[in-house]
Amino acid sequence: GEDVEQSLFLSVREGDSSVINCTYTDSSSTYLYWYKQEPGAGLQLLTYIFSNMDMKQDQRLTVLLNKKDKHLSLRIADTQTGDSAIYFCAESFRGSTLGRLYFGRGTQLTVWP
Amino acid sequence: NAGVTQTPKFQVLKTGQSMTLQCAQDMNHNSMYWYRQDPGMGLRLIYYSASEGTTDKGEVPNGYNVSRLNKREFSLRLESAAPSQTSVYFCASSERGFEGETQYFGPGTRLLVL
């Protein structure tokens, strides 16, 4: 099970909260990640959560994990125009080769003033 | 400390031509990776290297070869480029290749095969 699904687009107004959602199929995932890709750049790790956690907060970012529904979300509080980017959900599995990552297709977040 | 660097940034090839994409990291990481990113798709792993002198296939290795020249450098070679290899190629590295480690990505090489 390496299927990671994300909606492709999200548009929010500056100052609002953004919620980016992700579903995955394999319950043996051990770590779930959120990466950010700005235009013309590589991916940057934003945060990750271990599969035995339900929530992780890091400044404006809140990650929620619902293991029963295999659903992961990333909430960005007080979204700014600089948050406009593509956000990728990814997972890794216990014993997988080299901590190999499986990525979703990415959600394009557009923040308008 | 430049992190992960890739050259070239852009390349246009004709079908059948060959080229090598270069990647280097200055973080003394053991593990290195090559991914490709196609429009509307997540990244897919082409090849990886656990340590100097070792390489292994990822999800989409066909049409590519790699060389882990030393601990710093990991190159990707296209022997006979095909239009299906038009993509953005990312190199990444991590300290030991363990789960939960951060993978650091380079800025990418944008390749167009005509």
Chain-centre distance for alpha carbon B10:
14
Q: Give me the pLDDT at residue A2, please.
A: 58
Q: Higher model confidence: residue B63 or residue B59?
A: B63
Q: For B45-49, what is the mean pLDDT? A: 94
Q: Strands A9-13, A107-112: parallel, antiparallel or unpaired by DSSP?
A: parallel
End-to-end CA distance of chain A: give it in Å, rounded. Answer: 39
Residues of chain B with C-beta less than 8 angstroms from the C-beta of A45:
102-104
Q: Which residue has the higher pLDDT, B100 or B18?
A: B18
Asked if B103 reaches chain A (Cβ–Cβ under 8 Å), the answer is yes
Of the ranges A39-53, A99-113, B15-29, B31-45, the best mean pLDDT one: B15-29
Collapsing DSSP to helix, strand or coil, A15 comes out as coil
Tokens of A24: 């995955």
pLDDT of residue A1: 40
Structure tokens at A4: 């990671």
CA distance B103 to B37: 16
Chain B hits for A50, CB-CB cut-off 8 Å, are: 100
- Over B5-68, what HEC string results? EEECCEEEECCCCCEEEEEEECCCCCEEEEEEECCCCCEEEEEEECCCCCCEECCCCCCEEEEE
Q: In a structure prediction context, what are the per-residue pLDDT tens digits for chain A, which is 113 residues long?
A: 458 899 899 999 999 999 999 998 877 777 899 999 998 888 999 999 988 889 999 999 999 999 889 999 999 999 999 999 999 999 887 665 566 788 999 999 999 99
B108: which 2 tokens? Answer: 């990418």
Report d(CA A82, CA A60) in Å as an integer.
13
pLDDT reported for residue B97: 75
Q: Does A42 touch chain B (CB under 8 A)?
A: yes
Give the tokens for residue A86. Answer: 């593509």
Q: Is B87 on the interface with A (CB under 8 A)?
A: no
Query: First and final CA of chain B: distance in angstroms?
Result: 36
CA distance B90 to chain A (A): 7
Pairing of strands B74-78, A102-103: unpaired
Residue B19 has pLDDT above 90, yes or no: yes
Rounded Cα–Cα distance for residues B103 and A49 (Å): 15
CB contact under 8 A, B99 and A30: yes
Phi, psi of B23 (to 5 degrees): -140, 140
To the nearest whole Å, the CA of A30 is away from the closest chain B CA by 8
**Chain B contacts of A52, Cβ < 8 Å?**
none
- Looking at the partner chain, which of B58, B102, B107 has a beta carbon nearest the beta carbon of A42? B107
Coil, strand or helix at B83: helix
DSSP state of B85: G
Name the residue among A94, A99, A103 with its Cβ closest to that of B42. Answer: A103
Could you report the per-residue pLDDT of A85-104, keeping only the tens digit for each?
A: 999 999 887 665 566 788 99
Q: Which residue of B has its CA nearest to A36?
A: B105
Contacts of A96 in chain B (CB under 8 A): 99
Average pLDDT over chain B, rounded to whole?
92
Q: Which amino acid is at B70?
A: N
